[in-house]
Amino acid sequence: MASSDLPPSVLSHVSLGTNDYSRAKAFYDAVLATLQIRCVMDFDGGAGYGRKFPEFWIQSPLDGGRANAGNGVHIAFLANTINEVNAFHAKALELGGKDDGAPGYRPEYTPEYYAAFVRDLDGNKIEAMLMVKEGSKG
């Protein structure tokens, strides 16, 4: 298979467990809406989010055990604008998320990397980011 025939992403989807599905669903419905991401699939105890298909899932653990946040794990969502990154961070904090890195440039990654980090209601680290094109840093 030629590299031009390969899918553009290396991931199909990722999932985070939650201990309070209805609370987590309300949180992600509102927070991801700031990035033009919506719930595209919903079933009892689980929801899939994306722009066209479910790439990010929240769900009650299938084994019935308690969900725990992974140390060193985080999920980064692609934003379209700096305003979306800022709105993502503000909405997450408004809904009970915890600040884990205010919106801003991260020159330690690259000069164009603009991101914000929060902890969701279960302690999972989530991020909104984009690479800001030269000349559009406003």
* Overall number of domains in the chain: 1
- Nearest-Å Rg of the Cα atoms of the chain is 16
Give the CA-trace dihedral at 10, 30, 59, 24, to 10 degrees: 140
Does residue 5 belong to any structural domain of this protein?
A: no
Using 50, 70 and 90 to split pLDDT, how confident is the model at 5?
confident
Fill in the DSSP letter of residue 80.
S
pTM above 0.75, yes or no: yes
Does residue 43 belong to any structural domain of this protein?
A: yes
Predicted pLDDT of residue 135: 59
Q: Identify the residue with better confidence: 6 or 92.
A: 92
Amino acid letter for position 82? I
Indicate the average pLDDT of the chain. 93
Give me the CATH number covering residue 111: 3.10.180.10
First to last CA, the chain: 41
d(C-alpha 52, C-alpha 68), whole Å: 28
Residue span of the structural domain in which 81 resides: 11-131
Interior CA angle at 50 toward 62 and 125, to 5°? 65
